[in-house]
Copies of this chain bind each other. A is one copy, B any other.
Amino acid sequence: MKLVVAVIKPFKVDDVKAAVQELGMQGLTMTEVQGYGRQRGHTEVYRGAEYTVDFVPKIKLEVICEDGEATSVAERIIAVARTGKIGDGKVWITPIDDVWRIRTGEAGSDAL
């Protein structure tokens, strides 16, 4: 089992979700995160005091899938989430020892 993690631009969530679904994945988990990287943040001004905010809102998606599916899921996300502008984000894959579905207790592939 693998966990594919993607940090993407927020407005790409629906497209990526649809794309992942098309590949047959039945679910995913999404988290609101703040990203720091090459993409510049912004400046805020309150009564003359200027604050630089370096973090940019991003969405983190996590998809658990079979070992064999991981790369294709990652590639699909990369294709769909791309705008070509700085800050499009990252995708990475980490190993998973085991996974269970809480409702049934099923493990492994059956848990997905």
Contact = CB atoms under 8 A, between A and B. Distances in A.
Interface of A: 1-3, 6-8, 17, 26-38, 54-55, 58, 60, 64, 70-71, 74, 77-78, 81-103, 105, 111
Contacts of A2: 97
A29 B93 CA distance: 16
Contacts of A33: 29-31
Given A93-B98, A94-B95, 13 more contacts: A1-B92, A6-B102, A28-B36, A29-B33, A30-B35, A31-B33, A31-B60, A78-B105, A81-B102, A85-B103, A86-B103, A90-B100, A93-B99
Contacts of A74: 98, 100
A64 to B, nearest CB: 6
A3 B94 contact: yes
A55 B77 contact: no
